[in-house]
Amino acid sequence: MPQMPQTESGRSTVSALPRWPALVGGGLLNVALGTYYAWSVFVPALEKEFGWVRTQTSLVSTIDMVMLASMFMVAGFLQRRIGPRTVAIIGSVLFCSGMFLGSFAHSLLALYLTVGVMLGAGLGFGYLPPISVGSQWFPHNRGLVNGLAIGIFAAGSGIFGPIAGYLIAHIGWRATLQVLAGVFFVFTMVGSYLLKNPPPGYQAPPAKAAHATTRRPKVHADVPTSQVVRMPSFYVLWVAYALGTTAGTMVISQLVPFARSAGFSAAAAAFAISIGAVGSATGRFFSGWMSDHFGRLLTLRGMLFISMIATPSLYLWREQALPFNVLLFLVYYCYGTQLSVYTALAGDFYGTKYLATNYGLLLLAWGCAGVFGPVIGARVFVATGNYQYAFFGAAGLALIALGLVSIARAPVAAEARPVHA
């Protein structure tokens, strides 16, 4: 093993340890877990076999997102005691078991408990380690590294969504879930093995000198979660996060049925999942990089403004393939941006020591969007036969979120006092 330079106290100043295993491990884990975004590809087959309606099948996405957000908090508390590798393994087992057992479902309750509750709990446990481990190995590039980890999460649906659509058409939805569960178990277990925190005393190589136009984020004192929940800034971010991501969760949960109702073929609708996944992954990665250089809040404001325009435009131009795919890319891009930048923003505002639990609370806002987005989309469709009011309403929510982010400010020094363990 390479030797690390030591200070007089015996602690390393700059580590020569390889950092790439953390990125590879997180990538393998996230590309599998992110396939849950492609749930809508299973919806037509389930509705055809059982006669279920859109509000019933869309609830699976809602349960998944609520479980992800809530179990992320639980995983955050456990990770400080059992380590990221064990937390990732728990997530792997829950996710793959939920998918496999869901293939035997013959009722909505069974589907909700397996592909909803169990798989969603696995998402919550598996989503945390790549973020927290990557942030510790690459502290100077949190926006970029978080964007990469979360971007790969989004890319999973683009890679495996069309594969799932092909398999469903040839071997049925049950066998498709079983095949994917087996493949993903291998991916996630290998990824979990590669995830571990840096050793005590590790310090990352110094960041390269910034250009004059670069706005390096200022990291504030480490603030424990018990203090964060008493800060007004936290609630401004929380509500903005919930409202801003509602448009994305609504489109994601309804994408294939929405595309089919607009006249697209089954193959074209499945391909739309790939377009959306590329948009979401690009937003998470590129906007994460942008936020490192131009500021988190400025990046969020720009993406919320674009989302406010793109979401209703997607409905208006839904019947033309090129505008549909371009606007779909933009809606997903803006959605992915928020998941990436809010993660880094939580570290900037409240420090990185308690990031798992602080961001876990903030992620509950995304969980609420996971409830409201699919429900709004499904209920509006059932009531009116189309998605017009849902898409225009989502634009209004993005406008409110833009207003909140515009007044958001980092905690002042007196408000974010460091707490020594």
- DSSP structure string for 314-342: HHHTTTSHHHHHHHHHHHHHHHHHHHHHH
Question: Has residue 8 been placed in a domain?
Answer: no
Alpha carbons 178 and 183: distance in angstroms, whole number: 9
Token pair 């509950």 is found at 364
Burial (0-12, 13-18, 19+ Cβ within 10 Å), 16: exposed
Token pair 């391909």 is found at 271
pTM: 0.74
At 368 the pLDDT is 86
Question: Has residue 3 been placed in a domain?
Answer: no
At 334 the pLDDT is 94
pLDDT beneath 70, residues of the chain: 1-17, 139-142, 202, 204-220, 412-421
Question: Has residue 10 been placed in a domain?
Answer: no
At 210 the pLDDT is 47
Q: What is the DSSP string of 52-84?
A: --HHHHHHHHHHHHHHHHHHHHHHHHHHHHH-H
At 220 the pLDDT is 58
Question: Has residue 185 been placed in a domain?
Answer: yes
Question: Has residue 11 been placed in a domain?
Answer: no
Range of the domain at 349: 20-197+216-407
303-348 pLDDT, tens per residue? 999 999 999 999 999 888 899 999 999 999 999 899 889 988 888 8
Question: Has residue 208 been placed in a domain?
Answer: no
Q: How many domains does the chain have?
A: 1
Question: Has residue 414 been placed in a domain?
Answer: no
User: Which CATH number characterizes residue 355's domain?
Assistant: 1.20.1250.20
Question: Has residue 275 been placed in a domain?
Answer: yes
